[in-house]
Structure 1
Amino acid sequence: MFRKPPRPHSTSQSSLIGGSSGKSSETLPPCGAEAPSIATYFDSTHDVTVPASNGTFRVYQNFASSGPLFIFHHGAGHTSLSWALVARLLKNRSQPCSVLCYDCRGHGATQTGDDSDLSLTRLSGDLVNILDVLYETLPADIILVGHSMGGAVVVDAAASKAFKSLLGVVVIDVVEGTAMESLAHMQVYLRNRPASFASIREAVDWSTLGTIKNRDSARISVPSQLKEATNKDGDKPWVWRADLNASQVHWKGWFQGLSKKFLSARAARLLILAGTDRLDTELTIGQMQGKYQLVLYPESGHTIQEDEPEKLASTLWEFWDRNGPGKIIKRFPIPIPVKSVAAPASAPEH
């Protein structure tokens, strides 16, 4: 059995910060207009001190006494709340499962001693360190799920000795080849992205025009990506929390070797893409060899978990149901062709 952290009496942020980073917790901006409260999506929202990572991490959880544990890692610039709709759908299934999401360093309400260190080694180490604080013994039925940069993080963490038994690894809309090619265009995207917004509603409106198709999700996720900052005119525009420009030094390190590590993961593997054009050569060959399951959402944008939460929740549960413990893999025997044997020569007539 594994130990779950005690449930807080409410979903308000509980005071679990021990000061390893020397900073106090920061409250996220309110959700977008008419958006449900975070309590609609998660049983618990709290801050967890992680001494090995020198920081306090904002953690969102749903609890169940049985079933799998889905651990979600968001992409660069996003936060745990990009998984909110998926977490609620998994929570409301008739069969139980647990969910764990957290804001990685430099993102959301998480604060560490060095928020600028977004190297792959540091991020995957943070994941392992957080689990070490939350669980005395890891459950056997763990499925790691990562979007974009988060996909690289969960694949790297899957190779850690911390996971003696890992059921599955799910990567959402990122492959090594196309990711490396697109890095040249990232600076252009960041230059064209608004640096600040007059209001949260304006930020949500901008996001739904290009990056997120589902406004219900954007009203939850976008506010958590922002913070209030006073400018020279005395106004208080909303600016991005994560400094993606400063993270450029880590971009190549996130994705180099991703395909090979994914294909060699000691667990069931699922790759979810918004289009087949994102497959690189190594993954194309791996798909032909049946090394992983591939699911396509051609109607979705890059943030699949926000654009298509219902489909993604169903896909994740089917992946668990197909690969869960005790499942018997049906084997189909390959018929061996019988070699033709020459008929014996007839006995000579007497």
Structure 2
Amino acid sequence: MTLIRSKRVYGIDVIRSIAISLVLISHCTYLLYPNNNTIILSFIRTLGAVGVDLFFVLSGYLIGGLLLKNIESGKTSLSHLLIFWKRRWLRTLPNYFLVLVLNVILLLILDDALPKNLWLYIPFLQNFISPHPNFFTEAWSLSIEEYAYLMLPLLLYLSFFMFKRHFKQLFLKLTLAMIIALFAFKISYYFNANVTSYKEWSSGFRKVVLYRIDAIYFGFLLVYFIKKYNTFFMQKKKLFSAIALFVFGSTHLLIYYFSLYPQTHLGLYVFLYIPLVLLSCALLFPYFIDLKQNGILKNVFYFISTRSYAIYLVNYSLILLTVQRYYEVDQISFFAKVLFLVLFLSLTIIIAQIIYLFFERPILSLRDKYVSK
């Protein structure tokens, strides 16, 4: 275990911890103030969405880095692609299907109706071209990630097989080509959608696979350029962080100041808003990946980071919605709300810890033992 921890990148643990914290804090507002929508609450909930975008860029950065590492070591055959997929699937699928089953069991216990097309959750098709159903809502982002891991890596390795040279150039060119090709679906959405609210845009665009796979591929581009121009990025890391904060802050300030909504400025939200958020996330990476370890905080970030996947999967559908079903938290005193908040966070951490220790970590150990890196 010590050896495994020594190989971790401290800054990556920090990024993952920040991302899951933003998601959790956002969900806390839905628990405490489900019927309120003040500017402050809206901004905190926006940060929760940004936390997911940060996860997307991080996933692309890590997976793209693995693919580049395979290229550098000559692992460019289709058999190496199968190994890549096996390791990815053993990392992501067991937790996903475990929590999917737990959500089904919970609905049966509560005597609620199951989704009509529950089977779509197995091949991650429940939000491929349409809004995600109102069941196991966290799964929308998992669908995006799974198809991102499937589509571009397959195209890359087929190209490696066909051309057998210039592998790094193919990585860059195909990533850019995929992002450009996916842009066509956004254009189609823009001309055909009839959006009447932010929630409708979020469910019909932000959480749909075909419109959001490119978020992962932003991470592919990020790791390519950081590896190629590492000295430049490390020397300018504070400048890039300042630019990231300026872009993020000014974008949201303009949106709130001028009341720019999807129903009135759909083009902004389809073509500019999310790319600007992803760019802001990406520009922070040089600073964080070069971050020096803090002895006290290292263990905190390690704990949160390693449990982040389980935390993400269980906190909302399994815990928060169940609490809301039996208690109207919005109507109780502030002190009682604090107690419910502590209960929500405690249950989230406890259940995530159980999943990590007795399910996720043993599976990862088996993966590392039987599937070559």
TM-score range, shorter-chain basis?
under 0.3
TM-score normalised to structure 1 length: 0.24
Higher helix share goes to which structure? 2
Higher alpha-carbon Rg: 1
Higher strand share goes to which structure? 1
TM-score normalised to structure 2 length: 0.23
Q: Which has the higher contact order (CA 8 A, sep 6+)?
A: 2
